[in-house]
């Protein structure tokens, strides 16, 4: 497995005010424990098989208070089909987030107020995988490859969702900090020969999302909580959003209806 693919599957896990019309249909019922805590199913029952109550978090169409995490630059990739993606719907892999490109050192800001749960390379512990990620990190540590995991920040938005910001440098926050929407939390860095950051939104009590075959071969658990299309909460016509390299998909590959 190359460093480039590891970067792709790690950062492919992993959003800003009124939902666009095509994203605003009613929410479907989910599975799993309520709230924003990470799931902890029994060892004999996978996340997908576990019987759990309906989500208590609001559907994406009801979320408010989100803003673009980068002002300026370009949205280079949307939540869409991608054969190198970490997650899968049916037999096809998807890219479950937004990629925004600009320049090295561009400020990255909190998309929503909340509490910092991770700030560094351990952010995979806080994005809803069904099993602990300790073994995955230990394997990378033994191979001397832990630094291939990009620096990232996970913020508990206080509404049942976690915002995930990766491919950063000069992190401006630490675990436990409370931040306001728009607060500078880090800076964009260079990765895969370009300057960019990724933003992902995880519904921590949402339906289980299957990890792609390539992701499982790389050591990821079989399932994680649902990663939501960020455009469900970010306005594509906002005044201070990045430019668009290509138009967003008209029919994004969603696990559930919003």
* pLDDT tens track for 183-216: 999 999 987 677 899 999 999 999 999 999 999 9
Structural domains in the chain plus CATH codes: 3-26+35-40+57-244 (2.70.70.10)
Residue 41 has pLDDT above 70, yes or no: no
pTM over 0.95: no
- What tens digit of pLDDT does each residue of 94-110 get? 999 999 999 988 999 99
SS (H, E, C) the chain: CCHHHHHHHHHCCCCCCCCCHHHCCCCCCCCCCCCCCCCCCCCCCCCCCCCCCCCCCCCHHHCCCCCCCCCCCEEEECCEECCCCCEEECCEEEECCEEEECCCCCEEECCCCEEEEEEECCHHHHCCECCCCHHHHHHHHHCCCHHHCCCEEEEECCCCEEEEEECEECCCCCCCCEECCCCEEEEEEEECCEEEEEEEEEECCCCEEEECHHHHHCCCCCEEECEECHHHCCCCCCCCCCEECCCCCCCCCCCCCC
């Amino acid at each position: 497995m190359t460093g480039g693919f590891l970067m792709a599957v790690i950062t492919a896990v992993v959003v800003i005010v009124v939902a666009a019309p095509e994203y605003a249909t009613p929410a479907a019922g989910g599975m799993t424990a309520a709230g924003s805590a990470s799931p902890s199913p029994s060892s004999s029952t996978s996340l997908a098989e576990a019987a759990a109550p309906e989500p208590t978090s609001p559907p994406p169409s009801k979320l408010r208070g989100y803003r673009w995490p980068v002002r300026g630059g370009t949205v280079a990739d949307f939540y869409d089909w991608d054969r190198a993606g970490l997650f899968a719907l049916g037999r096809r892999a998807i890219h479950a987030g937004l990629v925004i490109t600009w320049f090295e050192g561009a400020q990255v800001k909190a998309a929503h107020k909340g509490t910092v749960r991770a700030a560094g390379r351990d952010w995979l512990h806080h994005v809803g995988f069904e099993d602990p990620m300790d073994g995955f990190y230990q394997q990378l540590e033994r191979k001397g490859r832990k630094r291939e995991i990009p620096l990232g920040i996970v913020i508990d938005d206080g509404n049942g969702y976690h915002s995930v910001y990766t491919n950063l440098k000069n992190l401006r926050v630490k675990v436990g900090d409370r931040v306001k929407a728009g607060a500078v939390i880090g800076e964009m860095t260079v990765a895969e020969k370009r300057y960019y950051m990724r933003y992902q939104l995880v519904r921590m009590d949402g339906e289980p999302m299957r990890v792609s075959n390539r992701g499982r071969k790389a050591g990821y658990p079989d399932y994680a909580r649902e990663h939501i299309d960020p455009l469900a909460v970010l306005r594509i016509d906002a005044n201070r959003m990045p430019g668009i390299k290509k138009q967003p998909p008209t029919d994004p590959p969603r696990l559930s209806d919003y």
